[in-house]
Amino acid sequence: MDNEEDIKEKEYFNKSLPAPTTSLERYLAEISNCPILSREEEYKLAMRYKKKGDLEAARKLISSNLRFVVKISNEYKNYGLNLMDLIQEGNIGLMQAVKRFDPTKGYRLISYAVWWIRAYIHNYIIGSWSLVKIGTTQAQRKLFYKLRSTKHKMDITEENLSPEDYKNLADELGVSDEEVIEMNQRMGGKDLSLDAELNSSGDTTHLDFLVDDVSNQEDIITKAEEEEKVKSELETALESLKERERFIIENRILRDKPLTLEELGTILNLSRERVRQIESVALQKIRHVLEKQGISR
C-alpha cells in the first residue's frame, strides 16, 4: 500500500503536467506503471548493482525514478525547449547517478540523483542557446536560469520591458539593472547563420568571407599523432588515480560543461575546500605521469 509521500508523488504526476504531445502521452502512460520502491527495496537493489553489477537491479532503480525526472524536467518547460528532450537528458543524468550511487551512505537514490538530473538538463539548455547570448561565467548562467522564471512570476512580458520592469527584476534577482538588460538582450537575440545570403542574388553568403586557416596535410597528421599520444598517456595517468580523484578530474577538467567545486562537494558529501585539495593532488599525479612520458602540458 502506498505511503503518503508516494500518493503525493502520483497526484503531482497526474495533475501538474501540461498538455503533452502524443509521444509524450505514451511515455507518461508507460512509466506510470513502474512501481515506486520502498527504502528497503531500493537499498537491496542498489547493493546488488554495486557488488555484482546486476543490470536488472539497475534497470529497476532507474525505472522507479523516471517519474521524478519528468517532474524536474517540467520545471524547465518555460525555456521553449521540447519537454521530451529535457526528459531524455534528465534520464541520462539519472543513469549516471545510479552508476555512481553508494547505498551505504544512508540517503535515498533520488536525493543523490537530483543533482545529476539537473546538471544534465542544465547542460542541454545551455547547449541549446548560443554562448554569445548567455555568457560563460557562473553568475551569468545563474541569471540566465532565473531571469525567465522571475519574469513569469512577476507577470512581465518578454517584449517591450520598461525601465521600471528592469528595476523590479533587478531588485528581485539581487543584481544591477545593467546585468538584467544585458542578459535579456542576449536571450532575445538571434543567431546569425553563416549560410545566410548577403544579397537577393543568392550567390554570396557570410561563409564566403571566412578566412581558411586550415593547416597543410603534414601538419594535420603530425598534430593528430601528438594528440593521440597525449590522449593515451592521459588515460594512463587517470588510471593511476583513486576513484574519487578520477571522478573529480573527469567532472572538473574533462567535461565540456564542468561541475563547480560546490556541486561536486554536494555529490561527494565533502566541503568545497576539500574537493579543491583533492583536485590539486590529482593534477599533480597526472603531471608527474605525463612528465615521465616526456609530455609537458
Q: Identify the domain containing residue 244 by its residue range.
A: 219-292
Q: Which three cell numbers stand for residue 71?
A: 517532474
pTM of the model: 0.45
96 falls within a domain: yes
176/68 same-domain check: no
**Nearest residue to 158 via CA among 77, 79, 75, 72:** 79
41 falls within a domain: yes
37/64 same-domain check: yes
Average pLDDT (99-125) is 89
pLDDT band at 66 (very low <50, low <70, confident <90, very high): very high
User: Among 100, 127, 154, where does a domain finish?
Assistant: 127
Q: How far apart are the first and last CA of the chain?
A: 59
120 falls within a domain: yes
94/164 same-domain check: no
87 falls within a domain: yes
Report angle CA 83, 85, 86 to the nearest 5 degrees. 65
Give the best-scoring range by mean pLDDT among 60-64, 141-145, 169-173, 198-202. 60-64
Lowest mean pLDDT among 25-34, 82-91, 207-216, 221-230: 207-216
26/110 same-domain check: yes
User: Among 168, 188, 208, where does a domain finish?
Assistant: 188
pLDDT value at position 19? 47
13/120 same-domain check: yes
184/248 same-domain check: no
84/107 same-domain check: yes
pLDDT band at 256 (very low <50, low <70, confident <90, very high): confident
Q: What is the CATH number of the domain that holds 33?
A: 1.20.120.1810
How many domains is the chain partitioned into structurally? 3
Q: What is the CATH number of the domain that holds 258?
A: 1.10.10.10
Report angle CA 207, 213, 219 to the nearest 5 degrees. 140
18/123 same-domain check: yes
Check pLDDT > 60 for residue 220. Answer: no
28 falls within a domain: yes
182/137 same-domain check: yes
Long-range contacts from 134-138, C-beta under 8 angstroms, 24+ separation = 134/183, 134/186, 134/187, 135/183, 135/186, 138/260
171 falls within a domain: yes
pLDDT tens, 193-216?
445 555 555 565 555 545 455 555
Check pLDDT > 60 for residue 258. Answer: yes
- Helix extents (H) in the chain: 4-15, 22-31, 39-52, 55-63, 66-74, 83-100, 109-127, 131-134, 138-153, 163-173, 177-188, 217-239, 243-252, 261-268, 272-292
User: Among 143, 165, 188, where does a domain finish?
Assistant: 188
252/162 same-domain check: no
What mean pLDDT, rounded, does the chain reach?
75
202 falls within a domain: no
Return the number of other C-beta atoms located less than 10 Å from residue 229's C-beta.
Answer: 13
210 falls within a domain: no
